[in-house]
Amino acid sequence: MKSTLVALTLAGLSMHAVAHASDDENPFFHESPLPFHYPQFDKIKDSHFAPAFDRGMAEQLKEVEAIANNPEPPTFENTIVALERSGRLLTRAVTVFSNLVGADTNNARNRLRSEYSPKFAAHNDAINLNGTLFARIDTLYQKRNDLKLDAESLRLLERYHQDFVRAGAKLSESDKEKLKRLNAELATLASQFSQNVLDEVNASAVVVDDVKELAGLTPAQIAAAAEEAKSRGLAGKYVLTLLNTTGQPLESQLENRALRKRLYEASIARGSRGGSYDNREIISRTMKLRAERARLLGYPNHAAYVLENQTALTPEAVNRMLRDLAPAAVANARREAAELQAMIDKEGGGFELAPWDWAYYSEKVRQAKYTFDEAQLKPYFELTNVLENGVFYAAHQLYGLTFKRRTDLPVYHPDVRVYDVLDADGKPLAIFIADMYARKSKRGGAWMNAYVSQAKLTGDRPVVANHLNIPKPPAGEPTLLTWDEVTTAFHEFGHALHGMFSNVTYPYFSGTRVPRDFVEYPSQLNEMWADWPAVLRHYARHYKTGEPMPQELLDKVIAASKFNQGFATTEYLSAAMLDQRWHQLTPEQVPAAADVMKFEAQALAADGVDFAPVPPRYRTPYFSHIMSGYAAGYYSYIWSEVLDANTAQWFREHGGLTRANGDHFRATLLSRGGSEDALNLFRTFAGHEPRIGPLLEKRGLVAPEQGKAQARQSSQDSAASPRA
């Protein structure tokens, strides 16, 4: 049951009343007959979702009622295990729908999402607030030490009890009704916000009349802009589409400063300029409702509620870390800004550095410092080569995995690729889906999800997917990646490995179902192999000639790894601190819609990250993370990076890219999912507490010697764990 509820909560789903299909016609009414229960995308129609959702919810409620009203005394098997087995139909339908609504949505799916968000919230509440069911769970919990359960089963019982309490199981009946109303409205608001962000990022594309304004772009990029304009009925013009981040990649290439400014201003205005896409009212209402819900459940604010269940434990621990890092990050950013301003002055620019100038002039400084730029790199980073001879190669060297492309399984979009993943012994391990290209029907960013999650209880084995948003070139042109896109591919595959290596008993603990501030750790670690010399040499080959990237250029890529880290750290920290500011408010402190942007400005100033040339990576009205599973959790990336930096150091000290190292990491951490305490998994792997020094050195926030000294500090100086 819990695995279904998690999926429903994260997806924020909804549905539309349509005619019910027969059992034979609806592919969700039965387990998929394809390998690993891979979804039957060729048979799934939008009209199948609503009947599957309706029947799935009805079936699960019936199963739950049978568990709650079982005349036999509660046992672990007839209560907890029975709940884990419940809701199979609903899980199948919800999982496919939630993944598709992110990767390839349409009007029908958007209507489904909007209509069923409150219905799914109500369904969750019907289970979590079932007093009879909770009484059985509580009975087992009170005598848990007498049940002689194995460690994973005991942890499952404890987590179920905690989840029900956090969901309101101990509230009075009147407060339960209030909670249900709050949950339903919050689900609706989250759906509206997501749709507004997607619609506006498409609507905010910048139209260019004269090709001369596109100076600096490659012929392929100009052709893609012309094709995009044509698809919008603007033949003869050029359209530059936006990504969901504040900064836009094309700003690093466009020579026309006025056009760079247009791109930037179109980006930062999203969600706050009035009209149908304005998200300020949704933000204000959501923050108020979340604060009210936290208070109802006995917490001072939403951040306190969220963080209790993470490795950070408290808002104070998160605040302390972010505020310790911010001054050094901003100081680095200011030093970088001075270098950029010097470049502007050297060229006779006659203007002060602005946000829309940063990417463009940082490329110039990079080129001057390291005598290379992105344009020199891209011919060596062709997509298929990066994926198969880079990402997959590193996984083969570390874990013995092999990958075989297959074309017999159906896909939901022609651009999607599918691979069999074979373990070191040659036996099938998982199926991997690669969805790499951007499109209007796809949300921004990059992510991993699971269509089927491993669990010994159900016999399920993993079907996992990675999603990127790489601009698709015109037909016949190669897909050449930026260095950032290369590292993103390695990052997301780290999540995929976490899902594929899962070896747990219960669905609740499968794969990436770990604390939010731990889940980014394996994925961030996997980025280290992108510029590992043996891996980089293997995939960095010219797309035309097959010649390897010259050693001199390889060396420059590695040497430049800390370049622009002041900017990168500051734009991230400002967003993470903004997230905390919003979610540490009481209901009375939440600003009205008209003051949302004023609050944002005041928050950035209060935290000392209001450096104008470096805006937050996401501004509040299009900060999708904080309206979904990362609410009060955007800090997770850098919190996890402490563990990542420690682990990267461990790999380097133990010989790097070897099977012995990979197998140790897999056995002690990647395969365990959420079945053990997250920080204990790290300690078992590394043999020590997390230390802050390696992160500071990695981010360039201290001199290397200082970082090494801090890395040698005892576990009492750990910044990653407030328990230490």
Catalytically active residues are: 492
CB-facing half-sphere around the CA of 466: CA atoms within 13 A: 27
The residue with tokens 């939010």 is 516
Q: Could you write out the DSSP letters of every residue in 290-333?
A: HHHHHHHTT-SSHHHHHHTTSSS-SHHHHHHHHHHHHHHHHHHH
Strands 428-437 and 463-470: parallel
For residue 85, give every residue at least 6 positions away whose Cβ sits within 8 Å of its Cβ, in sequence order, or none.
457, 458
Of the candidates 401, 383, 404, 381, the residue with the CA atom closest to the CA atom of residue 393: 401
What burial class does residue 70 get, using C-beta atoms within 10 Å of its C-beta: 0-12 exposed, 13-18 middle, 19+ buried?
middle
- Contact (Cβ atoms closer than 8 angstroms) between residue 646 and residue 686: yes
The residue with tokens 């300020």 is 280
Side chain identity, residue 406: R
Helix or strand run (H / E) with residue 240: strand 238-240
Count, residues in the chain: 724
How far is the C-alpha of 336 from the C-alpha of 356, rounded, in Å? 15
Of the candidates 173, 176, 172, 260, the residue with the CA atom closest to the CA atom of residue 216: 260
Measured over all CA atoms, what is the biggest interatomic distance in the chain, rounded to whole angstroms?
84
CB-facing half-sphere around the CA of 125: CA atoms within 13 A: 21
- Contact (Cβ atoms closer than 8 angstroms) between residue 572 and residue 630: no
Helix or strand run (H / E) with residue 464: strand 463-470
How far is the C-alpha of 456 from the C-alpha of 19, rounded, in Å? 36
Burial profile 697-713: b = 16 or more Cβ within 10 angstroms, e = fewer: bbbbbbeeeebeebbee
CB-facing half-sphere around the CA of 609: CA atoms within 13 A: 29
The residue with tokens 């510029």 is 531
CB-facing half-sphere around the CA of 39: CA atoms within 13 A: 28
